[in-house]
């Protein structure tokens, strides 16, 4: 038996690892693999910072598994096809009777696993990326929900009725026969070093959030200048923290949380359920992996896709300070505040009439927490092409969003220092002030909000 790690580089609540450790295995040390597939990651638009984050966790896991007498080998192969070929050769050469792994949601990954089985690789799969197994939360017609709120109610009902599987931390500690000096690791750039490894994050930042910030989350989550969010998304996207561990930890602290849906603490759990919703949705609608509109009537929209507008959006030079500061935050840090993701996505699709798929791709290429299901769901929500999308006639006003969520301009000034001296009265749209002062501090707006809104309404109505 061998163990195949994928988007699940953790020993905590890992079903495949649990099975591997609790079933007879004659190998000493026991063997595991993780494939470093740079070409495949590039084809899937994984950002450099996410790749570095995963490599750091892979290196850490090698040492952690050595203590469990598991030899984790990090194998560099270009793509999924090469992964299958490597495993086929290894299984045939070593008479391997079972390959154990956790399943992955996305279409190409599903095709790879089907190819493994077709090649005769004895693959045993488990599910490790959601709290409730995909396919279990269905409407009365036995199909997947198309709107979030009914899904959430059914999701909560299921958890209350059946609970959820949580395997806890791995506590098997056999004497290792692996020489720590022989452990091979892979090079990484440390560009993700601002984000600690999952073990440190769990014991410090996450614990502090649960103790000190979660009760204020409902009030602070939309304010980008306040560090009011948990920062857990990169860990869930990389699979280095289990979503079931998150719910287990929450219920330990707030035992009645599943019933207290109007509590401030529940507002954070609500975001975890959104993640579940998008993953369940993609499980049922695999065409979403191919970047198709969920709402098929929008599939043939004739987006303008103005290249100069798209370039200005990418570089944070639209002339709307909140949009520009958000894009600079993304480009400089590999992360963007969730409220701002909605604002910039709405601006790209509704103000500039640029295909949401271009924005989705750009996000994946830059975010440390790039996750196909959540990213796709968020972009289609903003573009009004998706499941549970905002109505097409709702167009975020970037100036009003700025006034509401960055009222004193703190976030704007952090990422646009050229506006440091602009009075609060003008910080959200400083062009009139700049013209009056005859200062060339800031580029002019590339579109006018009212005009762009009317154009968007006409575009979608057609």
Q: What is the pLDDT along the chain (462 residues), one digit of tens a residue?
A: 999 999 999 999 999 999 999 998 767 779 999 999 999 999 999 999 999 999 999 999 999 999 999 999 999 999 999 999 999 999 999 999 999 999 999 999 999 999 999 999 999 999 999 999 999 999 999 999 999 999 999 999 999 999 999 999 887 555 667 766 667 789 898 999 999 999 999 999 999 999 999 999 999 999 999 999 999 999 999 999 999 999 999 999 999 999 999 999 999 999 999 999 999 999 999 999 999 999 999 998 999 999 999 999 999 999 999 999 999 999 999 999 999 999 999 999 999 999 999 999 999 999 999 999 999 999 999 999 998 777 888 899 999 999 999 999 999 999 999 999 999 999 999 987 877 775 567 889 999 999 999 999 999 988
Domain of residue 424: give its range: 296-461
Question: Which residues are the active-site residues?
Answer: 271, 274, 303, 338, 356, 379
232 and 153, same structural domain? Answer: yes
156 and 33, same structural domain? Answer: no
Choosing from 254, 284, 314, the residue where a domain stops is 284
Q: What span, in angstroms and rounded, lies between the C-alpha atoms of 374 and 95?
A: 39
CB atoms < 10 A from the CB of 184, how many? 11
The length of the chain in residues reads 462
391 and 409, same structural domain? Answer: yes
**Helix, coil or strand: residue 71:** strand
Choosing from 227, 250, 284, the residue where a domain stops is 284
301 and 234, same structural domain? Answer: no
φ, ψ of residue 409 to 5 degrees: the values are: 75, 15
User: Structural domain tally of the chain?
Assistant: 3
Choosing from 249, 284, 319, the residue where a domain stops is 284
Yes or no: say if 5 and 72 are a contact pair by the CB < 8 Å rule.
Answer: yes
Q: What span, in angstroms and rounded, lies between the C-alpha atoms of 271 and 277?
A: 10
233 and 145, same structural domain? Answer: yes
CATH number of the domain bearing residue 18:
3.40.50.620
151 and 103, same structural domain? Answer: no
302 and 262, same structural domain? Answer: no
Is residue 182 domain-resident?
A: no
Q: At what angle do helices 307-315 and 321-333 cross, to 10 degrees?
A: 70
Is residue 174 domain-resident?
A: no
CATH number of the domain bearing residue 274:
1.25.40.80
310 and 217, same structural domain? Answer: no
232 and 162, same structural domain? Answer: yes
118 and 37, same structural domain? Answer: yes
Is residue 290 domain-resident?
A: no
C-alpha torsion sign, points 61, 67, 68, 73 = positive
300 and 153, same structural domain? Answer: no
319 and 218, same structural domain? Answer: no
């Amino acid at each position: 038996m061998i163990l195949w790690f994928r988007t699940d580089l953790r020993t905590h609540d890992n079903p495949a690892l649990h099975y591997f450790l609790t079933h007879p295995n004659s190998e000493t040390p026991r063997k595991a693999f993780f494939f470093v597939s740079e070409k495949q990651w590039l084809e899937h638009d994984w950002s450099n910072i996410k790749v570095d984050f995963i490599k750091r966790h892979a290196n850490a896991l090698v040492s952690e598994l050595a203590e469990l007498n598991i030899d984790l080998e990090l194998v560099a192969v270009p793509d999924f096809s090469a992964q299958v070929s490597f495993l086929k050769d290894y299984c045939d050469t070593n008479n391997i009777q079972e390959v154990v792994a956790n399943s992955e949601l996305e279409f190409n990954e599903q095709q790879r696993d089907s190819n493994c089985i077709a090649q005769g690789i004895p693959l045993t799969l488990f599910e490790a990326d959601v709290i409730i197994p995909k396919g279990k939360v269905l409407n009365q017609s036995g199909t997947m929900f198309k709107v979030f709120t009914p899904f959430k109610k059914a999701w909560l009902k299921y958890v209350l009725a059946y609970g959820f599987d949580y395997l806890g931390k791995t506590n098997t500690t056999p004497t290792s026969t692996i020489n720590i000096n022989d452990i091979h690791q892979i090079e990484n750039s440390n560009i993700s070093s601002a984000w600690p490894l999952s073990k440190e994050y769990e014991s410090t930042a996450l614990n502090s959030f649960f103790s000190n910030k979660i009760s204020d989350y409902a009030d602070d989550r939309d304010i980008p200048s306040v560090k009011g969010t948990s920062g857990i998304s990169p860990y869930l996207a990389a699979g280095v923290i289990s979503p079931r561990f998150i719910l287990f930890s929450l219920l330990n602290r707030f035992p009645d949380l599943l019933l207290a849906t109007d509590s401030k603490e529940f507002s954070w759990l609500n975001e975890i359920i959104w993640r579940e919703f998008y993953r369940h949705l993609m499980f049922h609608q695999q065409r979403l992996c191919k970047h198709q509109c969920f709402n098929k009537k929008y599939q043939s929209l004739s987006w303008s896709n103005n290249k100069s507008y798209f370039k200005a959006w990418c570089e944070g030079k639209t002339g709307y300070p909140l949009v520009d500061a958000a894009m600079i935050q993304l480009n400089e840090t590999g992360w963007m505040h969730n409220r701002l993701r909605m604002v910039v996505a709405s601006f790209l699709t509704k103000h500039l009439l640029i295909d949401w798929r271009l924005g989705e791709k750009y996000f994946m290429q830059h975010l440390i927490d790039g996750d196909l299901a959540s990213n796709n769901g968020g972009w289609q929500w903003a573009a009004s092409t998706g499941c549970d999308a905002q109505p097409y006639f709702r167009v975020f006003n970037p100036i009003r969003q700025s006034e509401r969520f960055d009222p004193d301009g703190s976030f704007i000034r952090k990422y646009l220092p050229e506006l440091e001296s602009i009075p609060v009265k003008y910080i959200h749209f400083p062009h009139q002030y700049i013209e009056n002062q005859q200062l060339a501090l800031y580029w002019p707006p590339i579109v006018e909000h009212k005009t762009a809104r009317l154009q968007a309404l006409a575009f979608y109505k057609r």
